[in-house]
Amino acid sequence: MQTTIAQSIRFSGTGLHTGRPTRVTLRPALANTGIVFRRTDVIGKDAEVPALWDRVILSPLNTRIQNDAGVCVSTIEHLMAALAGCGIHNVIAEVSGPEVPILDGSAAQFVRGIIQAGVRRLNAALSVIEILKPISYAHDDAEARLEPADAPIMEFTIDFADAAIGRQNRVMSLANGRFVRELCDSRTFCRRADVETMRAQGLALGGTYDNAVVVDGDKILSPGGLRHADEAVRHKMLDALGDLFTAGAPILGRYVGVKAGHAMTNQLLCALFANPQAWRMRACDATLAARLPGVGVVPADLDAVA
């Protein structure tokens, strides 16, 4: 069955790229609403932006969606990952400005709030997007790919010159609450050498050592170090899950990312939906539902959330 949250939840913080205070309030929604962002500061034109792949516009270092009236919401990927990973299919996300708060740079606080608020099952059937044949998008030495599988599985590989990150690979099923326990607390990261360049471009103006892992060669500059030895690749998986959720439904298949980012995952979804032979909508029975992200999450899982 489809789900929503049992009660409203508010999160306040700073926009990673704008550097301005912002807040988002998640509100329960009816079946078949999907995930919809609503700009509460916009007056006189359509303020709602569906979190869908065909609403994504190119934006460096984050995922931005825009409606036909030109209203945008940026940096939605961590919240989208939390909703996907907790098995929430319908929510209205009211945002006070153009960007979702970055919080600690991971999805952990979103996940904690969702679990504490509770999940409400709706009287409507859930369908998933089943991958029927491999589909991929590649550029230079990077690639994003979807393949048929009987459960949501993710594999990701990254390779950075900085020894603090280096080459990392991780493969995991996203079933049985593993996103909550193993991925959701992994933070966004960057190289110290890139910080000034980003800020000169008007990006990362709200970035701090408290909401990002900053590396310099073989050094971790953020206080407290890493939460996981492979936190960087775990965060890339978190991002990918959030970006894949803009498909509009859970995906039944295997995602493989090699040095992939937000734009590449979106291009992969564009390629998928341009090929009707590569996918189908499949009704979700109890057996299939048990393999989806969010199923099996219990309050005790909060102990694993940062």
The pLDDT value given to residue 191: 79
Hey, is 177 helix, strand or coil? coil
Q: 204 pLDDT band (50/70/90 cuts)?
A: low
Mean pLDDT over residues 271-298, rounded?
92
| Cβ contacts of 195 within 8 Å, gap of 6 or more | 204, 207, 214
Residue 176 shares a structural domain with residue 203 = yes
Residues with active-site annotation = 262
Query: Is 153 in the same domain as 283?
Result: yes
Q: Are residues 102 and 217 in the same domain?
A: no
Angle at CA of residue 252, ends 249 and 257, nearest 5°: 100
Measured over the CA atoms of residue 35, residue 36, residue 40 and residue 42, the dihedral's sign is positive
Compare 150 and 16 and report the one with higher pLDDT: 150
Question: What whole-number distance in Å separates Cα of residue 38 and Cα of residue 220?
Answer: 37
Q: Are residues 71 and 111 in the same domain?
A: yes
The pLDDT confidence band at residue 1, using thresholds 50, 70 and 90, is very high
92 with 137, same domain: the answer is: no
Last residue of a domain, one of 76, 99, 121: 121
What pLDDT digit, counting tens, does each position of 38-67 carry? 999 999 999 999 999 999 998 778 999 999
Residue 295: the pLDDT is: 81
Assess whether pLDDT exceeds 70 at residue 306. Answer: no
Comparing 199 with 234, the larger pLDDT belongs to 234
Residue 227: closest CA among 288, 306, 297, 283: 306
Whether 144 and 281 map to the same domain: the answer is: yes
| Among candidate residues 121, 151, 179, the one where a domain is terminated | 121
Judge if 146 and 224 occupy the same domain: yes
| Average pLDDT rounded to a whole number, residues 174-201 | 83
Residues 293 and 145 in one domain: yes
Domain that holds residue 196: 128-304
pTM for the model stands at 0.95
What does the pLDDT read at residue 116? 92
Which two tokens mark 14? 């700073």
Q: Do 296 and 171 share a structural domain?
A: yes
Write out pLDDT tens, residues 132-184.
999 999 999 999 999 999 999 999 999 998 999 999 999 999 987 889 999 99
Which CATH number is 251's domain given? 3.30.1700.10
Gap between the Cα atoms of 33 and 104, Å rounded: 28
CB 145 within 8 Å of CB 255: yes
Could you tell me if 162 and 60 lie in one domain? no
Q: Which of 121, 141, 164 is the last residue of a domain?
A: 121
Average pLDDT of the residues of the chain = 92
Which of 62-66, 108-112, 297-301 bottoms out in mean pLDDT, i.e. has the lowest? 297-301
